[in-house]
Structure 1
């Protein structure tokens, strides 16, 4: 079991992409950190908001979830990083999720709200999320990430 994924070299690099891509598209800072890449990776993982990302597969799989994301979806790092990101939304909202992903892919980022579902079937409302494209060090598309700090469980 990976207790501290932020200590892995690949996750340290990915954390920097998350921060840099967010700033590139929105002009804002995801996190106020002026430390080393390792300190940034730890701060993102331990942040008080939910942060998750997926890769570029045809059926994108989560490749990152910070501690809040793992707690919210009730999954370990190993479990979270093996599931398709589409599984975070119920079938009835898949069409809206797909539209949002396309909008973010076209414009670079998008604000969103919506209902998502945990691994145990609990539904929650996100009122004010941000979805953005990830760029690698060569400014090439590298996936998408989502951030939100507010959510409410619904019955």
Structure 2
């Protein structure tokens, strides 16, 4: 695994600060915003966090270990994946509509969507919050999502 963004404190700050600024609630305990926040979010967080870039066909640039376990991909596999491929073809239109809504409104919460793991296992992600990654200078850097609940179909 290349660590690239996995343990990058600046990327962790982007995830955490944009979530607070855009959604209005903390992604992680504010007291945890110390040196090890990036490591904790990547390795130990009991919830999934994924993020994709700004490409026309976005690619995942981040997936914490909880998300990797959920989707059954390693870091290198996940970060090579186009984010649309996390949903089966019939479910992509709904996913695309959600992401476009987030792009214009800033975030969405309470989303439920059907996803597919590397093995072909289908599962629901529930109570998902998706938000725009906006850096401190107001530059759009992509989108991220977090969820604590998933269940197999």
Normalised by the length of structure 2, the TM-score is 0.92
Matches within 5 A, 1:66-145: 66-111=64-109, 112-145=111-144
Q: How big is the alpha-carbon RMSD for the aligned residues of Structure 1 and Structure 2?
A: 1.7
Q: Contact 2:6/2:62 (CA < 8 Å) preserved in 1?
A: no
How many correspondences in the alignment?
151
Judging changes above 3 Å, is the alpha-carbon distance between structure 1 residues 57 and 5 closer, same or farther for their aligned structure 2 residues? Answer: closer
- Unaligned residue ranges in structure 1 (runs of 5+): none
**Following the alignment from structure 1 to structure 2, what is the Cα–Cα distance between the partners of residues 85 and 134?**
15
Judging changes above 3 Å, is the alpha-carbon distance between structure 1 residues 3 and 132 closer, same or farther for their aligned structure 2 residues? Answer: closer
**Following the alignment from structure 1 to structure 2, what is the Cα–Cα distance between the partners of residues 38 and 99?**
37
Q: Contact 2:5/2:61 (CA < 8 Å) preserved in 1?
A: no
- Unaligned residue ranges in structure 2 (runs of 5+): none
Say which SS state the counterpart of residue 151 (structure 1) adopts: strand
**Following the alignment from structure 1 to structure 2, what is the Cα–Cα distance between the partners of residues 36 and 29?**
11
Segments of 4+ moved more than 2 angstroms: 1-7, 33-38
Normalised by the length of structure 1, the TM-score is 0.91
